[in-house]
Structure 1
Amino acid sequence: MSSGQGGGQSGGQAGGQGGPGWQADGRRGAQYPGARRRPRYRALSPLREHLREAFWFAPLLTCVGAVLLAGLTDLLDREIFAEASAAQTADTLLSFSSAAKSVVSTVSSAMLTFIGVVFSISLVSLQMAASQFSPRVLRLYVRSRLIKATFATCLATFVYTLLVQLGYDDTSDPARAVSVPIVSTIVALAMVMLSLALFVLYVQATMRLLRVPHVIDRVTRESLQVLQDYRWLAPELGPTPGAVPEGPTLLHEGRGGVLRDVNIRWLIRVARRHDAVLYQVPRIGDFIAPGTPTVVVVGGSAPRPRRITTALNVGVDRTMHQDLSFGFRQLVDIAIRALSPAINDPTTAVQAVDRIHQLLAVLAPVHLGELRHRDKDGAVRLVQPVPGWEATVDLAFTEVRICGAGQPQVTRRLAAALDDLLRITPERRRAPLLLQRALLERAVAESVRDEDNRAFALTPDRQGIG
């Protein structure tokens, strides 16, 4: 995205941020040839997010469509029967009417049972995912378009066949008959076939989402997408971000909740209008309550707090839209839940550590600094805090290390991950990794008293115990 669109490119080149394909300069509309994609500057729409997580919206639309479709097919059936009556072939159509009514009636009664099966599978899937993986991954099920499409199509088929039955003629006399449900029956059968096809795909997708490798892979891919957006923005090189400069502090005036997303374009526009620089205080994913500091205004005049609150998307849970840490949080939650005494599944924890290792390897050469978003003239208008390297390493390893200190499969995988990261991480970033390596050795020493077992537990192994 060019800075003329309220962009957030850095003023200088950010060498060492994953190659030139992810860099941009501060000139208006300028972009290095290797840049592949635009970052997600478009803010999340609270209404759109609510509809994506709601189960009522898609069925409502399909049921309305079913009502309209039933009226259209009934109109076509009446026209077809009128033409057949004029051509003296109405008796042939009436002989088809009885069979058609039987088929539609059978479909109508069966679809309601079918809907119950689909809904039951969804509830069982949600329960199993919450108990075995983490409540944070339930969004993969709730936001699944295939689940909603299957449920909505089955419900629309039931409504459609019910309305078709209401339009039946109760006479077999060609002189008194008005229509024969030819088109209606064909459409009903087509909707049944579509429902069955979606059901097969739905069962396959649900079975995949109940397998932890696929859930972990899905979370990892979404995390890499967020990281690519971050690398495209190319935060400016410089000293490690410190304290926020002095200035008027605006407080949150909206409802309490998790900061899910920030409307960057809106904040840049507000800062430009007041000739100021806005320093965002909470990070994406922080919980903010009324009275929580939101921005510090440096220079110019302070806008009204309500204008800042308008740009903050506050909800009940975090999203992957602009949150660099949420992917790590989900993977760590899966790992420590697998290591709990109730589940005791170190292999699942190792699979989560595999992906944590992957994300840290991608993040290791990327500069982590304040995101400085510029207006169309190249002036910095919004500064956003992002998690630093040390905080990210702590998030990735601390809880897994504590919970898995007594599991040699986990400790061996952690040792291998730390050793690999130490090989590829720049010298200035190795201190947090070395600290995690020392803490891992200390935790194993406290949990495993036997010297031979302790040496075995600290032997690096990328399969845990391969």
Structure 2
Amino acid sequence: MSVRSYRRPRPLSPLREHLRDTLWFAPTLGLVLSVLLWVGASALDTALITALKEEQSYDEVRSLMSITEDAKTIVTTISSAMMTFIGVVFSISLVAVQMASGQLTPRVVRIFVRSRISKLTLTIFLATFLFSLLVLTSYDSDINPRRVSSVPVIQSLLTMVLVALSLLLFIAYVSSTLRLMQVGPVVDRITREAMRALARQPTGEGTPVELPPESLRIPYRGRAGVLRDVNVTWLVRRARRQGVVLRLIPRIGDFVVPGTPMLAVHGKSNTRLRVPSFAVHVGTERTFHQDLGLGLRQLSDIALRALSPAVNDPTTAVQCVDRIVQLLSALAHEPLGALHHRDTQGQVRLEQDVPNWTDLVDLGLAEIRAASTNAPQVTRRLMAAVDDLLLLLAQDPASTWGWDERVMVEERRIPLLRHRTLLVQSVVGAVSEAADREFALLADRQGIG
């Protein structure tokens, strides 16, 4: 096994990731919490006035009523202006995101949806609006301090705190949204999410694990869509109870339709296995939760759009190649292959196919190489990328694979050498001048530094 640390999947991990891909959960939770906050603040205000009246401190009650009457004007203004403020801010933000998705890739919208600052800002804005409306219902029309039952002192203070927090979050939100229009922060965000997905994945084992004979295949019964993730914890527990080994047939990211074979059962089960909907999640788009190749896919998409004749931005493509090299470097000495998820006794209970080294290299380099023939800045960066990866493979890390490490290194050199050969052939066939060909094939980590 690799020395890279691996965190065992938690039972609620898929649910947590699915909620992060939604924009409704956090604001809805914020609205519920704002109601609870108002109920608690209202109870404190009532207790405060009751205590003052018991002590017959009517002058203090009158002073609090005077203060809250002045605050009522502010609260009224907040409640009427907050929704307009929310509409204007998010309209501008959606225009910015639309521009970024047009310049880079439509998948940048997902970054906006998963952004914590976006969700927190929307949550606090809506909570402030709802809380201010609820506070207005707490104002008593009775001006006699002896008969008044509650004065919204604490509620008014909390409204001011929420407004101040909204203003601070507005500044952070605008700054975060503007960064979505810049190439560097976007590709950096994609890379960081891909690295986190890598950290969540267990590694392969270098040598194949022999499974019992296959006895059954379980078809998929849900709606058609992209296989986003599977509930590893549930499948491992189910396989352990039945005394079998399950093998996931499609890869994460594959498009499946009803009837597609989903799981192969290895070994004999006493009962017929059924896969509930929460064990296999299918959606409209891929996610980073268990998808090892999604980061490379998005970086490649951005680079391809940058190299299109309509955009013609090779510098953006070079920035994407930089991050592709970063991801491939992190995987260079990882034992890729089928993942084997084990139960608490160490027995293999679930086998999951993932992209191998050749698949990932092709995903990161093939399309960019084909589209960059007439962009010397990109071809020079690709030559440097291949050279750097070959050099990295030639290094001798702390070996944990045993005697097969040399074989692994030689096998992983093959797709890199193939891409370098194809790149040279493409440039030679497209560029007529020998000097230009030599210039375009000179390795340079900055493209044209």
Residue in structure 1 matched with residue 7 of structure 2 by the alignment? 38
Q: Which amino acid aligns with 1:463?
A: Q
Map of 1:289-438 to 2, 5 A cutoff? Answer: 289-301=257-269, 304=272, 306-307=274-275, 311-425=279-393, 426-438=409-421
Residue in structure 1 matched with residue 405 of structure 2 by the alignment? none
Asked if residue 152 in structure 1 is aligned to residue 123 in structure 2, the reply is yes
Residue in structure 2 matched with residue 33 of structure 1 by the alignment? none
Alpha-carbon distance in 1 for matches of 2:247, 2:127: 50
Residue in structure 1 matched with residue 186 of structure 2 by the alignment? 215
Query: Which of 436, 443, 448 is matched with 1:453 structurally?
Result: 436
Alpha-carbon distance in 2 for matches of 1:196, 1:389: 48
Question: For residues 242 and 139 of structure 1, do their structure 2 counterparts lie closer, same or farther at Cα, with a shift above 3 Å needed?
Answer: farther
Asked if residue 88 in structure 1 is aligned to residue 61 in structure 2, the reply is no
Map of 1:71-220 to 2, 5 A cutoff? Answer: 71-84=39-52, 86-89=56-59, 90-174=61-145, 177-220=148-191
What is the RMSD computed on CA atoms of the aligned residues?
2.7
Report if aligned partners of 2:211, 2:245 keep a CA contact under 8 Å in 1: no
Query: Structure 2 length normalisation: TM-score?
Result: 0.87
1:195 Cα deviation from its structure 2 partner? 1.0
Report if aligned partners of 1:235, 1:371 keep a CA contact under 8 Å in 2: yes
Alpha-carbon distance in 2 for matches of 1:271, 1:352: 41
Question: For residues 312 and 463 of structure 1, do their structure 2 counterparts lie closer, same or farther at Cα, with a shift above 3 Å needed?
Answer: same
Query: Structure 1 length normalisation: TM-score?
Result: 0.84
Residue in structure 2 matched with residue 268 of structure 1 by the alignment? 236
Q: Alignment identity in percent?
A: 50
Question: For residues 461 and 110 of structure 1, do their structure 2 counterparts lie closer, same or farther at Cα, with a shift above 3 Å needed?
Answer: same
Which deviates the most, 127-136 or 81-90? 81-90
Residue in structure 2 matched with residue 67 of structure 1 by the alignment? 35
Per-residue Cα deviation, 1:50-87 (whole angstroms, up to 9, x for no partner): 43333333222322333333344344444444555522
Asked if residue 237 in structure 1 is aligned to residue 206 in structure 2, the reply is yes
Q: Which amino acid aligns with 2:137?
A: L
Question: For residues 375 and 49 of structure 1, do their structure 2 counterparts lie closer, same or farther at Cα, with a shift above 3 Å needed?
Answer: closer
Aligned residue pair count: 431
Report if aligned partners of 1:270, 1:303 keep a CA contact under 8 Å in 2: no
Report if aligned partners of 1:252, 1:305 keep a CA contact under 8 Å in 2: no
Q: Which amino acid aligns with 2:303?
A: A
Report if aligned partners of 2:62, 2:145 keep a CA contact under 8 Å in 1: yes
Q: Which amino acid aligns with 1:249?
A: R
Q: Which amino acid aligns with 2:327?
A: L
Report if aligned partners of 2:219, 2:259 keep a CA contact under 8 Å in 1: yes
Q: Which amino acid aligns with 1:381?
A: R
1:177 Cα deviation from its structure 2 partner? 4.5
Report if aligned partners of 1:94, 1:180 keep a CA contact under 8 Å in 2: yes
Report if aligned partners of 2:27, 2:122 keep a CA contact under 8 Å in 1: yes
Alpha-carbon distance in 1 for matches of 2:428, 2:331: 30
Which deviates the most, 88-97 or 439-448? 88-97
Q: Which runs of 5+ in 2 are unaligned?
A: 394-408
1:267 Cα deviation from its structure 2 partner? 2.5
Question: For residues 244 and 340 of structure 1, do their structure 2 counterparts lie closer, same or farther at Cα, with a shift above 3 Å needed?
Answer: farther
Question: For residues 198 and 266 of structure 1, do their structure 2 counterparts lie closer, same or farther at Cα, with a shift above 3 Å needed?
Answer: same
Per-residue Cα deviation, 1:212-243 (whole angstroms, up to 9, x for no partner): 2112112212222232333xx3422236x999
Per-residue Cα deviation, 1:400-453 (whole angstroms, up to 9, x for no partner): 111222111111100110111122222232111111011111222233222221
Which deviates the most, 452-461 or 53-62? 53-62
Report if aligned partners of 2:211, 2:266 keep a CA contact under 8 Å in 1: no
Q: Which amino acid aligns with 1:423?
A: L
Alpha-carbon distance in 2 for matches of 1:121, 1:215: 19
Alpha-carbon distance in 1 for matches of 2:89, 2:270: 54
Question: For residues 368 and 82 of structure 1, do their structure 2 counterparts lie closer, same or farther at Cα, with a shift above 3 Å needed?
Answer: closer
Report if aligned partners of 2:14, 2:229 keep a CA contact under 8 Å in 1: no
1:181 Cα deviation from its structure 2 partner? 3.3
Report if aligned partners of 2:14, 2:231 keep a CA contact under 8 Å in 1: no
Per-residue Cα deviation, 1:121-140 (whole angstroms, up to 9, x for no partner): 33123312321222223222
Report if aligned partners of 1:335, 1:348 keep a CA contact under 8 Å in 2: yes
